[in-house]
Every structure is written in structure tokens, then in C-alpha cells.
């Protein structure tokens, strides 16, 4: 038998409930793989029916709450690592189902039909079951499916988010969202009448609290609600960020709105003291201080523990100071409240831990005026609080405040070092998710003296999420500051390619050249990209980046060099000449011959072009070089050398390097080697280059 543990430390499902869940999961699997009428499908339905019969003799209904990887049944959450029940939870979750309810009187035919309906994968239906109308979800008299409608979810307050953020929140379907909407559905959509179903569209914590208060006490109902509360407390203890903060706000308001009697009944949880203690300890780390005080009182009553009125008053005063006290007093009050509650709950081992003298002291302390210091107080360093949080693995409000204090500083390196030095685990991951955000990277990049080490470490954490902030920074970067940003953008890897390509068509030329430079640093071209589109771009810098890209590609290399040799920008010509030195084609040689007389090019660049075209082996090239070296005068039956110029010396050196074995070239080279001008004689005696 698979053991199913709760979020607490020792509570476990009864053998009957455990067997039922496993059989239900196996039955769905058999219905998914065997055809209708197969005996194994009928046998699975019969076995589940027998389990249900036994369970429904002791209770009028049996409810299952659904969270993405877990089920909640009678206040117990199944283990996420249990493969059978994880598969069952995922199957129900993919159908957008938040709960399943069985009632007394259920028949084998109903069970078989439910199995047949739910076993069909959500992707093979027109739409998931949870998005179907009520006539599908409530088609069985004694089985009801409740939808998990993410489209109704708004974790953030209206004034705190715009429409784009709402759409993103609805699309993310985070675990925080799943837990809240699951709780709301379990609380509101528990009856079969139309009025209750209509109310189920609300996720207002006040509405949810009222529904729980007004509901007639039902063990299955209470246990499903409690199961979600357990998971939410666990989630708030270990997770951070925007969505967790919104979940904390809602669940804290829910707890504070519940009637004391209702909260007492929910905290009863079948009398499991360890489970209750674990729940309160988790809530201490994640919920608002006002809700923590309410939970402690309810937990004490259900655990037969006694908390004096004086202690309650003290905790309440600390809660007031934590919420509305002076800025310097709030962190201390918040931390003191949570620490005291943690010690109190951890040490519950006597029926009344408050002797008379102790009670009198508490009474006196609770009546005293507050003694919190103002501006002259000395709060704990945020570094120390974060380090302590890592050491004891508690992610509470003091740690979050310390993180926010350190991220508000221009230099993030100390915070990064502190988090990297911590042991790997959930807390380190949660804090890095909170700190390493695109917004944080963007803020760093906007600093006049941005720390390159900090931005590099943020990019390494964010990976593809860093692309948009980096591209925005490139759009406003100068030539001197763009280089490091290009390197950072390229360091993300090949996956950044499509993002870069998508921005090419709508960007100004200054950004386009930086994006092309980024692609040039990737291992290959992104799919759908072609640098030839930019080789005729109006901007010379863009054309140069396109040439650099094309020269690397054997299929486009010759075309790129030929185009760049005729470019009006000297830097592009020089780039092409460097490549042409390794092999010059006839088309390129023709362009270089024409540009050797182009006065718009500098003399040294024209000379470099002549050296490059000298490597092209053709009689046309040889004759052209001879004409540039020999003059028009004829002395002693030989043509005299032309006047010395950079072009003449380049042609002479080109003949020496590439044509020294040709008779016509030998004669000219021999004549030049005896010349009294050392530059001419030296150019004529050079050897090397391609043959």
C-alpha cells in the first residue's frame, strides 16, 4: 500500500482512503488504454465502487480537491513524488477540474461513466471538462465535477495591474494561482444548486470566508478547505515574488474575516496536533501578522493549550506595530511577533504554560506603553538577517525586507555573493527568482556607472529573459558602450537568435548593426535569417556587419567581398580587401582595377587593392600590372619605369610576389631591382604570396 503523507509531519490517510485513490487512478488508466466493453474496465469500475461503498457508509459525501501535482482528501495532501497519484492529479488538472465529489447513493454505472469521461485526455476533446457547461459536469446524480476556471482569477488588485499584466497572470497559471482558485472553488462550489454555482465565480477573500462561515458543517467539506490551507501555508513559507505576495494578502484577509468558531472547527483537523503545529509554523513565516495571531488563538483552543489574554494582547500590539508602526519599528515588531509565535507553538507541551507570576508579568508588560526606538535605533544588518534565514531555512518577512533593502542599493555584488555562498535548495532558488528579474537587469543597465560583473551575473541567471532589457540598452548605447552589451546578449546562446531577428525589421540602423554583430557572435545563423538583406543597407556600419557575417559563410563569401570592394565607405573596402588577399576572383580584380584610379579612396587603400588583385592569375592582370610599372618612354629598346607612386610600388611588389617566373615580368623586375631608389629596388626583390 502506498503511504500518503500530509503537509504535516505524521498525519497519513487511512488505508481505505489510500486504497480508493490508488484504485481510482488505476481505473482511469485502464479506461484510457482499453476499448469500451473490455472486461478490465468493468473490473476496475467494480473495485472502485466497492471502495466507495465502504467509505460512504461513514460519511455522506467524499470530496477530492485537485492541485496540480497533488490531491487533497480529508485535510491530507498526497505526496508529489507518488507517481500513481501524481498522474491522477495531473490528469484531473489538465481537464481544468478543481474538485470531485461523490455522494451516498452512487452506482456502479455512474462510476463507470465518470471513468470513461475523465479518462479521455484533455487534448483529445474539443475542450477540457472544466470548460464544459453544467450539463456535462453535473450529468450524474451522485458524482459532481467542479471546474477550475483560471480565466476568473485575478490575484492582483485592480489598481495595481494593467490589462497586459492581467493577461500574463492568467496565462502563467502558477502554483499560487492554482492553490487560491482551488480553495475558492472548494469553498464556494460545494452545492449543486444554481445559486451556489453562480457565486463560485467570485474569488474575493471576503466572499470565500462568508461561504465557509455559512456552510453547514460537513467533514468532507471542511477537510478539503483545510487541505488547501495546508498547501497555501507551505507555499507561502517557501516561495516569493509578486504572485506569492498577492496570495499572502488574500489568504491573510480570508483568515482574518472568518468567524472564530469557523476557524476553530477548521483547525481541529481530526485532532492531529503535529499537523496543526506544522500548519501554524508555516503560516507564521508566510501570512500577515494579523492572521498569524488569529491562527495561534484557534490552534491553542483546538490543541487544549492555554494562552493568557495578556499574551494575546501583547501579540496583537506587536501586530499593530508591525503593520502601522514607525518605519524603524516595523521590522523589529514583525520579527519579534513571528519569533515568539514560533517558540510558543514549538514548545506546546503543557496544558497551561503560564504560572500565576508569569501571567502577572505578561499583564503588566501588555499594559505598558510601547518602547520602540525611533531614528536612533540600530536595526540588524540585512546581510546578517539573510544569512540567518539561509542557516535556519526560514523565508519570512525579515528576509524579504532585507532582500529588498539590498536590491535597492546600486551595488548588487554583495547580495549575489551572499546568495551564491548559500547551500543549494528551495530557499536559494526562491530568492534568486525574486532578485534576478528583467526589471532588475534593466535598472542596472540604466545606471550611469553600471557594474559589468553584476549585469553579467544577472544575465547568466535570466538567460533568454535578459534579451529584451539588453536590446533596449543597445538601442540607446554609444559606440564605446555597445560592445560589452553585444557580448552579453550573445552569451545567452543560440536561443537568443530568434529574438534578435524579430527586432531587426523594426529597429533604427544604430540598433540593427548591434543586432547583426550579436548574430555574428553566435555559432550559426538563426532560422529564417539572411544577412544578404542588409548588404545594400543605406548605413555603412550596417553593411559592414552584414559583410562580416557573409564572409564567414562559404556560399556567400565571394558575393560579399565583391559587393564590399565597390562600397563607398573605406572601412568596408578595407574589410573586403583583407578577405580578397586570400584569393581574388576575376570580378573582384576588375573592380579593383577600376578603383585603382578612384580619387575618393586614399592612396594606401588603392595600393592595397593593387596588391590584392595581383593574386588573380590571368594575362589581363599581368598586362595591367606591367602597364602600371612601365612608363611611356623607351630607352635602349626598353620601356623605362613609371614614376614612383604608392600604386606603382604596389604593382611592382605584386609582380615580384606572383609573376616573377613570367618572361615579361622578369625583365621589368630585373630593371627595377637595379634602380637607385631603394623603395623601387626593394619592391622588385620581394618574394612570397600566392603563386
Maximum CA extent, the chain: 133
Confidence at residue 689, expressed as pLDDT on a 0 to 100 scale: 41
Q: Which three cell numbers stand for residue 304?
A: 487544549
Tell me which residue of 368, 403, 127, 133 sits closest to 244, measured CA to CA: 403
Which residues, in sequence order, are CB contacts of 369 under 8 Å at separation 6+? none
The CA distance from 399 to 286, in Å, is: 11
pLDDT greater than 70 at residue 301? no
Q: What is the pLDDT of residues 4-33, one digit of tens each?
A: 333 333 346 677 888 888 889 888 888 888
pTM for the full model? 0.46
Task: Write down the residue that cell numbers 620601356 correspond to.
Answer: 639
144-202: pLDDT as tens digits = 888 764 333 333 333 333 444 444 444 344 566 666 766 776 666 444 344 444 444 45
Task: Check whether 319 has a pLDDT greater than 90.
Answer: no
Please name the helix (run of DSSP H) or strand (run of DSSP E) that holds residue 294, with its range, or none: helix 289-302
The per-residue pLDDT for 660 is 87
Domain ranges in the chain? Answer: 1-148, 149-301, 305-372
Q: How confident is the model at residue 321 (pLDDT cuts 50, 70, 90)?
A: low
pLDDT digits (tens, 9 = 90+) for 660-690: 888 888 888 888 888 888 988 888 887 544 3
Q: 277 vs 617, which has greater pLDDT?
A: 617
Confidence check: pLDDT of 495 > 90 = yes
Among the listed residues 46, 47, 91, 45, the one whose alpha carbon sits nearest the alpha carbon of residue 68: 91
User: 12: which DSSP letter?
Assistant: B
At 585 the pLDDT is 92
Closest alpha carbon to 534 in 555, 559, 554: 559
Residue 23 in 3-state DSSP? helix
13: left (phi over 0), alpha (psi -120 to 50) or beta: beta
- What are the CA-CA distances from residue 252 to residues 189, 209, 223, 292 (Å)? 21, 11, 19, 8
Which residues have CB under 8 Å from 476's CB, separation 6+? Answer: none
Helix (H) or strand (E) holding 64: strand 61-67
How far is residue 656's CA from residue 597's CA, in Å, rounded to a whole number? Answer: 22
Percentage of the chain beyond pLDDT 70 is: 68
Average model confidence (pLDDT) for the chain?
A: 77
Q: How many angstroms separate the CA atoms of 567 and 576, rounded?
A: 9
Q: Using CA atoms, how far apart are residues 198 and 210, in angstroms rounded to an integer?
A: 15
Q: What angle do CA 158, 178, 155 make, to 5 degrees?
A: 10
Output helix, strand, coil percentages for the chain, rounded to the nearest 5: 65, 5, 30
Amino acid at each position: 500500500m502506498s503511504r500518503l503523507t500530509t503537509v504535516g509531519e505524521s498525519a497519513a490517510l487511512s488505508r481505505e482512503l489510500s486504497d480508493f485513490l490508488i484504485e481510482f487512478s488505476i481505473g482511469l488508466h485502464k479506461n484510457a488504454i482499453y476499448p469500451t466493453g473490455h472486461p478490465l474496465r468493468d473490473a476496475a469500475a467494480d473495485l472502485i465502487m466497492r471502495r466507495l461503498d465502504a467509505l460512504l457508509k461513514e460519511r455522506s459525501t467524499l470530496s477530492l480537491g485537485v492541485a496540480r501535482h497533488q490531491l487533497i482528501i480529508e485535510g491530507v495532501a498526497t505526496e508529489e513524488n507518488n507517481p500513481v497519484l501524481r498522474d491522477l492529479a495531473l490528469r484531473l488538472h489538465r481537464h481544468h477540474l478543481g474538485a470531485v465529489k461523490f455522494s451516498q447513493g452512487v452506482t456502479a454505472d455512474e462510476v463507470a461513466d465518470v471513468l470513461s469521461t475523465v479518462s479521455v485526455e484533455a487534448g483529445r476533446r474539443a475542450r477540457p471538462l472544466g470548460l464544459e457547461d453544467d450539463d456535462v459536469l453535473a450529468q450524474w446524480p451522485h458524482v459532481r465535477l467542479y471546474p477550475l476556471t483560471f480565466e476568473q482569477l485575478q490575484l492582483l488588485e485592480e489598481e495595481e495591474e494593467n490589462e497586459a499584466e492581467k493577461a500574463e497572470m492568467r496565462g502563467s497559471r502558477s502554483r499560487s494561482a492554482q492553490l487560491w482558485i482551488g480553495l475558492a472553488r472548494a469553498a464556494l462550489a460545494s452545492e449543486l444548486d444554481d445559486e451556489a454555482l453562480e457565486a463560485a465565480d467570485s474569488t474575493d477573500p471576503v466572499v470565500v470566508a462568508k461561504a465557509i462561515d455559512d456552510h453547514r458543517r460537513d467533514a468532507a467539506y471542511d477537510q478539503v478547505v483545510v487541505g488547501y490551507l495546508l498547501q497555501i501555508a507551505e507555499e507561502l513559507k517557501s516561495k516569493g515574488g509578486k504572485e506569492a505576495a498577492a496570495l499572502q494578502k488574500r489568504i491573510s484577509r480570508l483568515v482574518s474575516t472568518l468567524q472564530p468558531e469557523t476557524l476553530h472547527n477548521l483547525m481541529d483537523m481530526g485532532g492531529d496536533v503535529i499537523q496543526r503545529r506544522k500548519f501554524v509554523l508555516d503560516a507564521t513565516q508566510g501570512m500577515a501578522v494579523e492572521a498569524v495571531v488569529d491562527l495561534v488563538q484557534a490552534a491553542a483552543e483546538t490543541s487544549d493549550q492555554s494562552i493568557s489574554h495578556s499574551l494575546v494582547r501583547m501579540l496583537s500590539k506587536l501586530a499593530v506595530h508591525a503593520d502601522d508602526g514607525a518605519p524603524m519599528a516595523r521590522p523589529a515588531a514583525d520579527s519579534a511577533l513571528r519569533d515568539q509565535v514560533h517558540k510558543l507553538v514549538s514548545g506546546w507541551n503543557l496544558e497551561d504554560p503560564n504560572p500565576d507570576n508569569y501571567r502577572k508579568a505578561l499583564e503588566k508588560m501588555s499594559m505598558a506603553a510601547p518602547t520602540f526606538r525611533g531614528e536612533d535605533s540600530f536595526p540588524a544588518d540585512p546581510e546578517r538577517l539573510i544569512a540567518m534565514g539561509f542557516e535556519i531555512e526560514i523565508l519570512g518577512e525579515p528576509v524579504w525586507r532585507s532582500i529588498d533593502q539590498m536590491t535597492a542599493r546600486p551595488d548588487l555584488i554583495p547580495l549575489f555573493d551572499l546568495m551564491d555562498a548559500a547551500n543549494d535548495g528551495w530557499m536559494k532558488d526562491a530568492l534568486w527568482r525574486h532578485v534576478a528579474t528583467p526589471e532588475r537587469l534593466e535598472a542596472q543597465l540604466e545606471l550611469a556607472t553600471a557594474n559589468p560583473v553584476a549585469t553579467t551575473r544577472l544575465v547568466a541567471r535570466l538567460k533568454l529573459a535578459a534579451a529584451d532589457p539588453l536590446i533596449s540598452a543597445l538601442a540607446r548605447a554609444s559606440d564605446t558602450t555597445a560592445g560589452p552589451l553585444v557580448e552579453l546578449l550573445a552569451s545567452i546562446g543560440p536561443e537568443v537568435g530568434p529574438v534578435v531577428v524579430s527586432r531587426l525589421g523594426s529597429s533604427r540602423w544604430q540598433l540593427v548593426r548591434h543586432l547583426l554583430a550579436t548574430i555574428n557572435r553566435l555559432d550559426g545563423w538563426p532560422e529564417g535569417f539572411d544577412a544578404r538583406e542588409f548588404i545594400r543597407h543605406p548605413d555603412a556600419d550596417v553593411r559592414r556587419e552584414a559583410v562580416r557575417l557573409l564572409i564567414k559563410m562559404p556560399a556567400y563569401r565571394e558575393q560579399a567581398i565583391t559587393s564590399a570592394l565597390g562600397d563607398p565607405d573605406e572601412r568596408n573596402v578595407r574589410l573586403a580587401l583583407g578577405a580578397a588577399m586570400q584569393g581574388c576572383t576575376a570580378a573582384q580584380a576588375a573592380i579593383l582595377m577600376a578603383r585603382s584610379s578612384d580619387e575618393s579612396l586614399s592612396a594606401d587603400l588603392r595600393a592595397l587593392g593593387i596588391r590584392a588583385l595581383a593574386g588573380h592569375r590571368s594575362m589581363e592582370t599581368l598586362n595591367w600590372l606591367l602597364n602600371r610599372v612601365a612608363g611611356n618612354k623607351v630607352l635602349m629598346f626598353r620601356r623605362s619605369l613609371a614614376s614612383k607612386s604608392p600604386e606603382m610600388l604596389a604593382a611592382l611588389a605584386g609582380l615580384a610576389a606572383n609573376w616573377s617566373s613570367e618572361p615579361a615580368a622578369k625583365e621589368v623586375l630585373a630593371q627595377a631591382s637595379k634602380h637607385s631608389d631603394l623603395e623601387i629596388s626593394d619592391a622588385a626583390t620581394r618574394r612570397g604570396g600566392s603563386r
